[in-house]
Chains A and B, each alone.
Chain A
Amino acid sequence: MELLLASAIGVLTAGGIYLVLRLRSFPVILGVSLLSYAVNLFLFASGRLVVNMPPILSDDAAGYTDPLPQALVLTAIVISFGMSAVVVMLALGAYLSSRTDEIDIDDPDPIPEAEPGAVE
């Protein structure tokens, strides 16, 4: 099980990093999402993998799993969900107003360009 989880985290991270390095905003957002899935699994695993154990106190429990990472993962999921919504809205706004979804910004638009000779 450890191998399975570790390789899942690894594959997700690798895919995420590859996508984040793309030049268009849509793959970049997908990459960020993949990375956040990877980190959720990672956080979950930080409490050690235990099968069939309750996270809260009970009288007939043989052992316990660590409840804290579960709470952390929950927080992280909520936050990354909100962040994804924000970044999608922002990417859409940028796309609709500039008609291109490239991440790179071309160098300064004509207005701030100094007149020749103005700069020493």
Chain B
Amino acid sequence: MTHWIIAPIVLPAVMAAIIVMSMRHHVLLQRIFSIAGLTAVIAIAAGLAVQASTGVIEVYDLGNWPAPFGIVLVLDRLSAMMVLLTAVLALVVTVYAAGTDWDRRGNHFHALMQFQVMGIMGAFLTGDVFNLFVFFEVLLIASYGLMIHAGGTRRLRAGLQYVVFNLLGSTLFLFALGTIYATTGTLNMADLAVRVSEIPQSDIALIRVGAVLLLTVFAIKAALLPLHFWLPETYAEAPAPVTALFAIMTKVGAYAILRVFTLIFGPDLPDIADVVEPLLLGAALITITIGMIGVLGSNRLGRLAAFAVIGSMGTVFIGMSSFTPETTTATLYYILHSTLSTALLFLTVDMVRERRMGSSDGYASLPAFRQQGLIAALFFAAAIAMAGMPPLSGFVGKLLILKSVWPLPGAGLIWAVILVTSLIAIVGFAQGGSAVFWKTKAPEESAEPADAPAEAAPEPAQGLAFTAAFSLLAGIILLTVFAGPVTSYLSATTGQLYQRQGYVDAVLTGPERVGGDAGYGAKGHGDADDGHGETDTHATEEGH
């Protein structure tokens, strides 16, 4: 058992504390430590990904308590991939924030960013559902702080909506966990997988309620319709670097659904899968439609980008809803693509906003701004990627999803919806892009005051900001060029995901479970579990 698994969680936590405690007033030091810390996390995450790519599932017992009793962290291919993606995105976003001076506009940007990364990493790595709740709260409370970074009336009010919505989500999460614990008597994911698969017929209804509640909670995080209300306002009002990082937050919801509904409530449990799959597919189809129509109907770039996120989550869930290995592989590819391109889109929108003074990203014709050509090119690339046109990875991702749903029933409807909404998105992006970038007034026509602040505006080191945006673009291009190797890695990931027994065995009867430990733990649990000990046969005991 190596200790590296916990490093992506502990390192940002320590870094955040150091930043808050000892360099609160020194932005340059904060930047250096923040970026250095995230670079180290990337290195660790890459190491973990290499380790996970051997196919071994690594389990880390916190406090050395054996699996069903203590909390475990689990590293498999999926979590390693998501951890690496988060680390890369966080570094890019931090570099952008440093390059545009966003981190100077309020206090504690870097500390909150580190806490946010800690929460996201924890959510990806944990193997315990209650621990998942705790990490959700960690990432949410950091995101509350980041969301209202730099203040402003509208931002505060949008932030309030966001916080209240997510507090309700958290409450629902606890209700779901209570139901599941009352039915099964455990909260460890692997143990849950075992117990749910052998649940007596009389408890099926209860566990189904728990499953659908959990689905609802994760759907709130993933902004699946009709639970998306928090997203457009939040994403349009939040500071851009924060929004770019939030690109991974909707994916946390998607990851949680994928993890829980393959491992615990797997597709081989018809009682639950029959409820979940149609629900998910229907919601996904509506989500993509509303999202793309929203793209077309926006009159500001910020809202356009926010609705594009909703649309892309719809695409993700169309792929996810059928829970076959092929569709899941395609979905994972789309998740990678959508994270990078969403972040790129938000960074581009922010560049426009910054140069058009304040947050006026409406479709008005204003004078051309500095570096307009470069930014227009970035927007063009981001729009192509988000809408799923060739040659970028959005096209490959959509193609993979379309191909993988072909043999399934209802494929015709899914094809129609995806293709038509892509067209709507293309029109929407074209409208937004041409209104903002092409319909510019000549500067001399414009009123004097519009011009003056442009000169006065501080000119931060834009090199860093462009580096960040172009590295995201490079990521998208790499994802397109290396689509072959990436998909083969992803299909191995999916294989591991649907091989539930491997995960369960690794957690409950891993090689490091020495006899004494497990025996002691099992005894303690047996005593404590009087209330609902019908299924008290433990894999741990069979292990030795």
Which of chain A's residues has its CB closest to B427's CB?
A: A120
Interface flags for B133-173 (1: CB within 8 Å of A; 0: not) read 01001000100100010011110111111011001101100
Question: Per-position contact with B for A31-72: 1 when CB-CB < 8 Å, else 0?
Answer: 010011011001101111010000101000001111111001
Select from chain A the residue with minimum beta-carbon distance to B357: A111
A75 at the interface (CB under 8 A from B): yes
A interface SS class: helix
Q: Which residue of A lies closest to B185 (CB)?
A: A66
A116 to chain B, nearest CB (A): 10
Q: B365, A118: Cβ atoms under 8 Å? A: yes
Give the contacting residue for A42; candidates B152, B167, B175; CB below 8 A: B175
Q: Indicate if the CB atoms of A28 and B164 lie closer than 8 Å.
A: yes
Closest to B136 in A: A79
Return chain A residues, CB-CB under 8 Å to B161: 103, 105
Cβ of B530 under 8 Å from chain A: yes
A25 CB, min distance to chain B CBs, angstroms: 6
A11 within 8 A of B: no
Residue B17 CB within 8 A of the other chain: no
Cβ 8 A contact of A66, one of B141, B439, B524, B528: B528
Residues B167 and A83 in contact, CB atoms below 8 Å apart: yes
Shortest Cβ distance from A10 into chain B, in angstroms? 12
Instruction: Check B435 against A87 for contact (C-beta < 8 Å).
Output: no
User: Would you call B182 an interface residue if the criterion is a C-beta within 8 Å of the partner chain's C-beta atoms?
Assistant: yes
- Chain A residues with CB below 8 A from B187, complex form: 68
In the complex, which of the residues A55, A103, A112, A115 contacts B160, with contact meaning CB atoms closer than 8 Å? A103
User: Given the complex, which residues of A lie within 8 Å of B530, measured CB to CB?
Assistant: 63-64, 66
* Contact for A94 among B153, B167, B360, B524, CB less than 8 A: B153
CB distance from B208 to the nearest CB of A (A): 16
Contacts A25-B160, A87-B164 given; does A72 touch B177 at CB 8 Å: yes
Cα distance A93–B187 when bound, in Å? 38
CA distance A46 to B179 in the complex (A): 7
Cβ of B156: which chain A residues have Cβ within 8 Å of it? 90, 93-94, 97-98
For B167, list chain A residues within 8 Å (CB).
32, 36, 83, 87
Known: A36-B171, A46-B182. A114 touches B160 (CB 8 A): no
Are B175 and A114 in contact, CB atoms less than 8 angstroms apart? no
Say whether B300 faces chain A, with CB atoms less than 8 Å apart.
yes
- Is the C-beta of B445 less than 8 angstroms from some C-beta in chain A? no
A86 and B163 contact, CB distance less than 8 A: yes
Nearest CB of B to A105, in Å: 5
Q: Does B212 contact A (CB under 8 A)?
A: no
Whether A32 lies near B360 (C-beta < 8 A) is no
| Shortest CB distance A28–B (Å) | 6
> Which residues of chain A come closer than 8 Å to B182, judged between CB atoms?
45-48
Whether A97 touches B300, Cβ cut-off 8 Å, given contacts A87-B167, A118-B364, is no
The majority secondary structure among interface residues of chain B is helix
Interface string of B105-133 (1 = CB under 8 A from A): 00000000000000000000000001000
Residues A20 and B527 in contact, CB atoms below 8 Å apart: no
Question: Any chain B CB within 8 A of the CB of A76?
Answer: yes
A109 within 8 A of B: yes
| B461 to A: closest C-beta gap in Å | 27
- Assess A90 versus B528: contact at CB under 8 Å? Given A20-B164, A72-B177: no
List residues of chain A with CB within 8 A of the CB of B179.
46
Q: Is residue A2 within 8 Å, beta carbon to beta carbon, of the partner chain?
A: no
Are B362 and A111 in contact, with the CB atoms below 8 A?
yes
Across the interface, which residues of A come within 8 angstroms of B148, CB to CB? Answer: 90, 93
User: How far apart are A108's CB and chain B's nearest CB, in angstroms?
Assistant: 7
A42-B174, A64-B527, A98-B153 known; A113-B164 Cβ under 8 A:
no
- With A83-B167, A112-B299, A112-B362 known, 19 other A-B pairs at CB within 8 A are A39-B175, A42-B175, A45-B178, A46-B178, A46-B181, A47-B182, A57-B524, A64-B527, A76-B174, A79-B134, A79-B170, A87-B164, A93-B151, A105-B158, A108-B300, A109-B154, A111-B362, A113-B299, A114-B364
Q: List 24 A-B contacts (CB under 8 A).
A: A32-B171, A42-B175, A45-B182, A66-B529, A67-B528, A68-B187, A68-B528, A75-B130, A75-B134, A79-B170, A80-B170, A87-B164, A87-B167, A90-B156, A90-B160, A94-B160, A103-B160, A103-B161, A105-B161, A111-B359, A111-B362, A114-B435, A118-B363, A118-B439
State the B residues within 8 Å of A (CB): 130, 134, 137, 141, 144, 148, 151-154, 156-161, 163-164, 167-168, 170-171, 174-175, 177-179, 181-182, 187, 233, 299-300, 358-365, 431, 434-435, 439, 524, 527-532
**Among all A-B residue pairs, the 7 with the closest Cβ atoms:** A112-B362, A46-B182, A48-B531, A46-B178, A94-B156, A39-B174, A97-B153
